[in-house]
Each structure stands twice: as structure tokens, then as C-alpha cells.
């Protein structure tokens, strides 16, 4: 089933260059990280290094545009980094990129290689339509703190992705909630690639992600949704 994704008018006004592509997948096979998914991450780090040269990740025009968008809703970009910048910083550090599971490794590799935020949601745990909105501050966000399950609430005006049960990702793409994250049991997923035009090529990144999902899950049903035709502007 194709999900409906909406972007509220106030978010669109906040960042007029915002664009997104989604890749829906059904019949996936996930597993622990392995040599193949690890090799993808290593190659993504190499591609990132070639792109950045001597620059720091935040000096890339696309990540700088994301910093401006974060600042526009009150987040401090040096403290709250978008997911692509956070991963890129880890990729160029001595510790390198984390290995989570094969599906997460795949979309993290795309994020690092293309310097675009990418998230993965288990569609079997999404309730209703997904919406990108400015929070009221009353939406529940299920996460973990100190090893314990907790419920937090976003700040009023914070940009969040949410469904009918609450927030699925805080501060646009900063932290994903545990309720809809991809686990080794996930078989159906939505992968969301987000960008700030004109500094990104989400179509190319989305096509590469779709190819990798088919490679790692032969027989999976993959659908790529462009920024128009599959989404609704609220």
C-alpha cells in the first residue's frame, strides 16, 4: 500500500528549497551487518572523501543549506546536526561508520555517498499518513534514554515527521523514534531521502538505493516515488 506523505505549508515556507523522494519496499529480507553491507559503508566513506576534499562536512553547500533550515526553526546546527552531517562526521573520523543491520547499512551508505539525509521506517508500524509539520509540543515521541524506554515531546515549533500515533523523527531528520525503526525482523519499509534544492540530486540517490535494495533482497517489490505525483502538499 502506498503511504501518503504531506508537507505542511508552514514547513514549506520555512525552507522553500525542501524536496524529498521516497522508496517503498515490500518483501525485504534483513539480517545483521555482514561483509557486503560493511563494504558499502567503506565505499561510501571513500566517495565522501573525494567529494569533500579538504573541506569539513558542514562546508558542503548541501549540508550548509540544511544548517540554515535547522536554524530557521530554532535548532542550533552545531549541537543538533541533520542526519547526513552526523553520519559524514563519523565517516571521516577514526572510528568510522557504525554497522547496524543490512538495511540500515544500505541507506546509511546512500546518505554518506550522496550527502543527503536518508531515513528508513518500518511501514508495518506506521499508523495512518505521515506528515512533516511544526510540532505543537504535545506529540509523543518514543525513544530510549539511559537504556530505558521513555516518551519525550518535541519543542513547540520544532519540525517533525509524525503519523497518527505521534512523532516518528524529531528535528526533521535528527533522531528517529524506536517505534518505526528498521529491525532485523522488518520486511516492509519506506526510505525517505530529503534534500535542499538545488544542492542535491535525490533522483540519482533514490535510484541507487532502489538498486541496492533489490540486490540485498532479491524479489522485493520496490517503488520509487518522485517529489511530485506520490506526495500531497497540505
pLDDT at 232: 36
Residue 150 above 60 pLDDT? yes
Residue 106 phi, psi dihedral angles, 5° rounding: -65, -50
CATH code of the domain containing 95 = 3.50.40.10
Residue 231 above 70 pLDDT? no
The residues, any chain, with a CB within 8 Å of residue 201's CB and separated by 6 or more, are 114
Overall average pLDDT of the 156-161 stretch = 98
Q: How many domains does the chain have?
A: 1
pLDDT at 112: 98
Q: Which domain holds residue 23?
A: 5-233
Number of H helices, E strands in the chain: 6, 12
**Quick check: 113 and 133 in contact, CB under 8 A?**
no
Residue 229 above 60 pLDDT? no
Residue 209 above 80 pLDDT? yes
Using pLDDT thresholds of 50, 70 and 90, give the confidence band for residue 94: confident
> Please, what is the average pLDDT of the chain?
94
pLDDT digits (tens, 9 = 90+) for 23-72: 999 999 999 999 999 999 999 999 999 999 999 999 999 999 999 999 99
Amino acid at each position: 500500500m502506498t503511504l501518503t506523505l504531506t508537507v505542511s505549508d508552514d514547513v514549506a515556507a520555512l525552507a522553500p528549497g525542501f524536496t524529498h523522494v521516497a522508496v517503498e519496499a515490500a518483501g525485504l529480507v534483513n539480517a545483521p551487518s555482514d561483509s557486503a553491507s560493511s563494504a558499502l559503508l567503506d565505499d561510501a566513506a571513500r566517495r565522501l572523501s573525494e567529494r569533500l576534499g579538504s573541506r569539513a562536512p558542514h562546508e558542503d553547500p548541501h549540508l550548509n543549506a540544511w544548517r540554515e533550515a535547522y536554524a530557521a526553526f530554532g535548532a542550533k546546527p552545531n549541537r543538533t546536526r541533520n542526519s547526513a552531517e552526523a553520519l559524514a562526521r563519523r565517516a571521516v573520523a577514526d572510528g568510522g561508520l557504525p554497522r547496524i543491520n543490512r538495511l540500515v547499512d544500505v541507506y546509511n551508505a546512500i546518505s554518506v555517498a550522496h550527502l543527503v539525509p536518508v531515513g528508513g521506517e518500518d511501514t508495518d508500524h506506521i499508523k495512518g499518513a505521515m506528515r512533516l509539520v511544526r510540532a505543537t509540543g504535545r506529540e509523543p515521541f518514543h525513544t530510549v534514554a539511559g537504556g530505558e524506554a521513555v516518551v519525550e515531546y518535541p519543542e513547540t515549533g520544532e519540525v517533525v515527521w509524525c503519523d497518527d500515533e505521534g512523532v516518528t523523527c524529531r528535528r526533521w531528520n535528527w533522531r528517529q523514534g524506536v517505534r518505526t525503526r528498521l529491525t532485523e525482523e522488518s520486511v516492509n519499509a519506506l526510505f525517505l531521502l530529503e534534500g535542499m534544492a538545488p544542492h542535491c540530486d535525490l533522483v540519482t540517490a533514490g535510484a541507487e538505493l532502489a538498486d541496492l535494495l533489490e540486490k540485498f533482497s532479491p524479489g522485493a517489490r520496490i517503488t520509487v516515488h518522485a517529489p511530485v505525483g506520490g506526495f500531497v502538499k497540505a
